[in-house]
Structure 1
Amino acid sequence: MKQIVLFLALASLYVATTNAEHKIVCFYDSASYSIEGVGQLTNKQLEVALQYCSHLVYGYVGIKADNYEAHSLNEKVDILEHQFSEITAFKRKYPKLKILLSVGGDRDIDESHPDKYVKLLEAGQDKQKAFIQTAHLLVKNYGFDGLDLAYQFPRNKPRKIHGVVGSVFKLFKKAFTGDEVVDRDAEKHKLQFTRLVDDLQDTLRSDGYLLSLTVLPNVNSTWYFDIPKLDKLVDFVNLGTFDFVTPQRNPEEADYSAPLFFDASEDRLPHNNVKFQTEYWAKQGFPISKLNVGIPTHGNVWKLTDDSGNTGVPIVYHADGPAPASTITKKSGLLGSAEICKLLTLPGDDVKMDREAQLIHSTLGHYGYAPAEGKSRGLWVGYDDIDTVTKKTEFALVSAGGLALFHLGHDDFLGVCAKVRYPILRSIKQTIQDYQH
């Protein structure tokens, strides 16, 4: 508790005296454009957000498994319906806005070739030229300002539920690792990735384009990123500092998915928080001015059982995996912020805390729940509310160069609950402005 209060006091003192320009990198998942009904993020609605963003990252394009060429994942929308061109045309109205095209993310799913991103690294420089040249052409032909690499590396394995002895042992394991080694050739892949980024930036920067890197959630930074060398190759890095715990990865334990600080009051891993991940990159020599802290606009939702208890206080054990998919996100166990607002009208969700508990929870996240009753299975949702987003923004003003919002389509872009559009994005912008003046 004292550590949290001290940090927030220092943050207020620091940011009140700085005029540094902090980035707000807004991720736009083009799949939001294709949703039918109220969940569709139209270009007109997207434009409302652009006044708050320094960068817009258009996701996603993918790579072909047979020849490694970069390509649209939805040519009907991106090319035939001119979405690429319509999005980059916003630069005429917002000349300070930089728009990048992102490769990979969690959208380029190829069940027949699940390792194609690793295979690209192993393919050698001659075959990598196909990727570099086609990615360069997509950026150039459609008016983007650069490329973002949201590279699909193997993810950390989710931790297993541990007893007391197991929990103590876990504290001595190497940071960032899961329960198993997922890539025995990680050191080789780190060297290959650095070389690929080097070659890519040579091509892009010859035309003045930007190159950024997005570290996806649960990708091991110690394994895959030669951080001192990447400093010279990329313009900035977006850290996916969320989804440390999800219903898919941790079906029996409902917990905060994106805490700012480590909370040792429960059986948690010390590296699964924003502070640790951000400081790791800084300690490896990467300039904090080029680091962006990831903010999720979605929440993770578990089903509860009769054995889950009725307090809702995390960690909630005996959960039963992800809640059913919604009509908007179409992904089990995941809801956007407007959907969470509707869910929290369920009985039993009113979480009352004293002032000290509120301060602690604002740095860990927020939660709502409906206990299991009768035939109702009950639900538990963990998410970042406005207080949590504000604390993370204050942290980024001291420890990073900006924020990266994942993503605009899951913010309440219609103002259904907050009565203002994009409440999460607005709160980030407002917090920065308050401390810069």
Structure 2
Amino acid sequence: MWIKIAVVFCLVINTIEADNNSKVVCYYDSRAYLREGLGKVQISDLEAGLSQCTHVVYGFLSINDQKRVVSLDPTRDYDHGKRLFREATTLKVRYPGLKVLLGVGGDISGEPDKWLSLLEQSTSRIAFINSAYDLIKTYNFDGLDLAFEFPKIKPKKIQSSIGSFFYSIKKAVGAAGKPVDPKSDEHREEFTALVRELKNSFRHDGYILSITINPNVNSSLYLDVPQTVANFDWINIAGFDFQTPQRNKKEVDYAAPLYAPSERNPELNVDYQVTNLINRGVPSSKIVIGIPTFGRGWTIEDGLTATGVPPFEGNGPTPEGMQSKQEGLFSYPEICAKLTNDQNKNLKGENGPIRKVGDPSKRFGPYGYRLPVDGKFGQWISYEDPDSAGNKAAYAKGKNLGGVAVMDLSYDDFRGACTGDRFPILKSVKYRLI
């Protein structure tokens, strides 16, 4: 009797400890500091949400021609400038237990060849590792998040079940296009060496090394799990931008589905990416799901039905938002302001409201749309809200994953403009992990 009670008690304690160990990795893209007007987000603006975070990633740094890790804006980050590196790591004083990592790479340069050439020379890898270590040591970071900029898979048209069958035949006989990286086998071995050498350089100081798989990268080409898994603390899946209006100009579809919608590429969803890594040998506790705080928007001229259910034909990205300043991308508060409300319900044309369609299935996320009038002003936006983000956090908890990553804080509602609640996506994620 007492043995059974003890066993149950231990199971409960272990469950509580597992929940408490769930990571909430909060990304801050420092380019937000350079935006103008309402889009500008300083580190001090993040503090209302930092109590919900276990880790912060300050991103993103790049590499120069000598393959050294460098700031994209030295006058912003370094001690001889505005000292944002120091400001970021000083957060640890006010938030004990918070770990602050330096984010390198990301999904910003669009120059994968430059990054692949880093792998091909041992001297380049050494320059990268030494410069990363020096920055971490100098500015008191706790480690590195390596979001290596590998080549992306090529966008594919949405296939019907019949079309997918014929595509699989073409792929099997080598007629489905050229490989994204003809030297991927070599680069896989070299990336394994880079990860091993990075971890060895960090080991004495106990620095963290996490790896982020950027959107639309085939990780199986580059990540040798048996050879690397012991050398990274966790791997973050950027589980979004499976479809974007830049990559898929004419095909409107869910940007960050948790599961595969019917008759779509079965690989372009979060669940596939998670399952694939687990099947390849990554422990579930080392997998973190990246959740976006933004949406992707297409311009619609025709073809949009009254329900707005995708897929259908689009016409490229929407005009840039007032805060995000990027075509086809809207922060969560920008989307919230577009949804039908008392202030916009009677507006027309480009200022007219968009209708929200929720996701009771908890599989694909919500979307919003505005029907075109005479081929003008139509929009369709796939996005994340607190409910859908919370569903993904619940998925992570149910799969015993390592946690979630909020990507990124500057696109969450950090001012509380929607409902008065600041950082609603971040808070929903944290709540569902408890």
With the length of structure 1 as denominator, give the TM-score of the two structures: 0.88
The 5-angstrom pairing of residues 389-404 of structure 1 reads 389-399=389-399, 400-404=401-405
Give the equivalent residue in structure 2 for 1:22. 22
Asked if residue 343 in structure 1 is aligned to residue 338 in structure 2, the reply is: yes
The 1-side partners of 2:75 and 2:64 are apart by 17
Correspondent of 1:153 among 150, 156, 162: 150
After alignment, is 211-220 or 228-237 more displaced? 228-237
Opposite residue 239 of structure 1, the aligned amino acid is I
| Per-residue Cα deviation, 1:180-238 (whole angstroms, up to 9, x for no partner) | 52111111111000001111111112222111101101110110101122211111111
Which secondary structure state, in structure 1, belongs to the residue aligned with residue 75 of structure 2? helix
Give the equivalent residue in structure 1 for 2:297. 301
| Per-residue Cα deviation, 1:104-163 (whole angstroms, up to 9, x for no partner) | 1123456xxx5110000112x123211111110010001100011010000000002546
Give the equivalent residue in structure 1 for 2:68. 69
| 1:18 Cα deviation after fit | 4.5
The 1-side partners of 2:189 and 2:393 are apart by 33
Which secondary structure state, in structure 2, belongs to the residue aligned with residue 363 of structure 1? coil
The 2-side partners of 1:16 and 1:377 are apart by 54
Root-mean-square deviation (CA, aligned residues, Å) is 2.1
Opposite residue 354 of structure 2, the aligned amino acid is D
8 Å Cα contact 1:15/1:398 also seen in 2: no
Which secondary structure state, in structure 2, belongs to the residue aligned with residue 275 of structure 1? helix
| 1:398 Cα deviation after fit | 2.3
Asked if residue 196 in structure 1 is aligned to residue 191 in structure 2, the reply is: no
8 Å Cα contact 1:24/1:405 also seen in 2: yes
8 Å Cα contact 2:357/2:366 also seen in 1: no
The 2-side partners of 1:364 and 1:16 are apart by 32
Give the equivalent residue in structure 2 for 1:430. 431
Q: Which of 1 and 2 has higher RCO (CA within 8 Å, sep 6+)?
A: 1
User: Unpaired segments of 5 or more residues in structure 1?
Assistant: 1-13
The 2-side partners of 1:406 and 1:372 are apart by 31
Which secondary structure state, in structure 1, belongs to the residue aligned with residue 37 of structure 2? coil
| Per-residue Cα deviation, 1:52-78 (whole angstroms, up to 9, x for no partner) | 00000000111112x111111111111
Opposite residue 129 of structure 2, the aligned amino acid is I
The 5-angstrom pairing of residues 366-385 of structure 1 reads 366-374=366-374, 376-385=376-385
Distance change in 2, residues 1:165/1:26 (3 Å): same
Identity %: 41
Opposite residue 296 of structure 1, the aligned amino acid is P
Which secondary structure state, in structure 2, belongs to the residue aligned with residue 232 of structure 1? helix
The 1-side partners of 2:309 and 2:354 are apart by 11
Give the equivalent residue in structure 2 for 1:9. none
Opposite residue 29 of structure 1, the aligned amino acid is D
Correspondent of 1:229 among 205, 214, 227: 227
Give the equivalent residue in structure 2 for 1:46. 46
The 2-side partners of 1:105 and 1:223 are apart by 18
Give the equivalent residue in structure 2 for 1:187. 185
Correspondent of 1:312 among 289, 303, 308: 308
Count of equivalent residues? 404
Give the equivalent residue in structure 1 for 2:90. 89
8 Å Cα contact 1:363/1:392 also seen in 2: no
Asked if residue 247 in structure 1 is aligned to residue 242 in structure 2, the reply is: no
8 Å Cα contact 1:32/1:39 also seen in 2: yes
| 1:326 Cα deviation after fit | 2.1
Give the equivalent residue in structure 2 for 1:327. 322
| 1:386 Cα deviation after fit | 2.1
Distance change in 2, residues 1:378/1:148 (3 Å): same
The 2-side partners of 1:163 and 1:270 are apart by 12
| 1:262 Cα deviation after fit | 1.8
The 2-side partners of 1:379 and 1:135 are apart by 42
| 1:91 Cα deviation after fit | 0.6
User: Unpaired segments of 5 or more residues in structure 2?
Assistant: 1-11, 341-350
| 1:268 Cα deviation after fit | 0.7
Give the equivalent residue in structure 2 for 1:218. 216
Which secondary structure state, in structure 1, belongs to the residue aligned with residue 211 of structure 2? strand
Give the equivalent residue in structure 2 for 1:269. 265
8 Å Cα contact 1:30/1:60 also seen in 2: yes
8 Å Cα contact 1:171/1:269 also seen in 2: no
